Amino acid sequence: MYELNCAGVIPGCDRVIRAESEAEVIRRAVIQAKQLGVETITPRMMDAFRHGLHVTPDMTRH
């Protein structure tokens, strides 16, 4: 499981985005940014998404 705390990365965002893959977290982050009024996803913002990603233990798997 991967997660991104978007506070500080996306203006006005206070969510933690979680998904099974890095690509899905970034996809969701882009959608969230656009919903919050970010018109252009810059390379700097994409770098912030990538650098903010963390791997978390999946507590549902044994």
Predicted confidence (pLDDT) at residue 54 exceeds the cutoff of 60: yes
User: Can you tell me whether residue 16 is helix, strand or coil?
Assistant: strand
Neighbours of 8 (CB within 10 A): 10
| Distances 27 to 11, 14, 37, 57 between C-alpha atoms, Å | 17, 17, 16, 21
Tens of pLDDT, residue by residue over 19-42, are: 999 999 999 999 999 999 999 999
8: pLDDT confidence band, cut at 50, 70 and 90?
confident
Identify the CA nearest to 54 among candidates 22, 23, 29, 9.
Answer: 22
Contacts of 51 (CB under 8 A, 6+ apart): none
Global pTM value = 0.86
- Quick one: pLDDT at residue 10? 92
Give the start-to-end residue ranges of the domains of the chain. 2-55
Ranges of H-type helices in the chain? 22-35, 43-52
